[in-house]
Structure 1
Amino acid sequence: MEIEVEFLRNWGDVVQRESKTGRSRERSLPPMTAEQMRRGAAHRLSCFRAAVGVDYEIVGYEAPQIIGRVPAHTDPKDVHVGAAGLVFQDALEDTADVDRVYIISANLDDLAVRQCEPLGLHIVGPGAFIDLLTNLDANRVEKALERSLGDLQRSPYSREQLLRTLKLHGAHATCAYFQRRY
């Protein structure tokens, strides 16, 4: 629940940062009010919940024995993120040699990346994670990107805008790969 509250609280900053890159100007959208951003964040969260059901819910991350295992270098405001990752890692105990827990965040400075690695938590930025997926299976990533463009009733992106957005978030290798293909 804490992660959802954090998402709702920070979504407006993400939208404003994205707007500064020119995306909103390309689409000729007026600036969004705080209320519009709040509603947009709530809508995105609702869509996510509807798509995955309760399978995304993490329970037990607030337990003192879990929080106590989060590396001390983690920013106190982000301990819940590391704790949620540890709950997942504990659930993979029998398959940890083949399964990995990734925490995807643009907030790497606050998450004690190096200290979490020995605990089985792989903390990477969004672009690095997409690049990793592309390196593992570029065909599946291409299908996912195409589906993202085609499944929406009114896609907010053209193919070129999607690639620019991926690049903005650090998926440089993915962008280079797909720019060569298109």
Structure 2
Amino acid sequence: MTEAYPLQWPHGRPRASNPERSRFGSRSVDAATKELFSEIRRLGAGTPVLSTNIKLRLDGLPYSNQSPPADKGVAVYFTHKKQSMCFACDRWDRVQDNIYAIAMTIGALRGIERWGSGSMVEQAFTGFVALPAPKSPYEILGVQRGASADEIDTAYRQKAKSAHPDKGGAPGAMEELNRARATLKATAA
């Protein structure tokens, strides 16, 4: 299951090394999110999940007025014609600009469809087919949301016993555990 928070970046998608200052002007996270969800609806897609490192409001959407996270990346997962899709962007130096960039990209693809070269849209969408969503850090460590730092560390040590390469763990298993632990400890109260 894809998590809205923290960011669930799609497997295999490269990350930008130096985010650029955007040219999109000023808009809030909320305004960019509304535009994105409108474009997804216009596309005829459903079940969108916007995944960022911005903490969520009670309605599950990101807060607009909080300190920007260190990782400005954004991924949106949705279903289009019974196919799971994922658009991800971390090119820009503000979360809201990455959200807006995805909205504009979807709008441009809708334009291609309206202008009569619809087969190009299907070809373009093939590149956005979502691989299975990455496991959430909670799932990786086997802890509940709101777990304390001690609970996170205990779960980490338990899982590391079998994930470590010296104990026959699969390649990358320790890296996955280390990332999950670091992510959850950064958000643990």
TM over 0.5: no
- Higher strand proportion: 2
Superposition TM-score, scaled by structure 1 size: 0.23
Superposition TM-score, scaled by structure 2 size: 0.22
Greater relative contact order structure (CA < 8 Å, 6+ sep): 2
- Higher helix proportion: 1
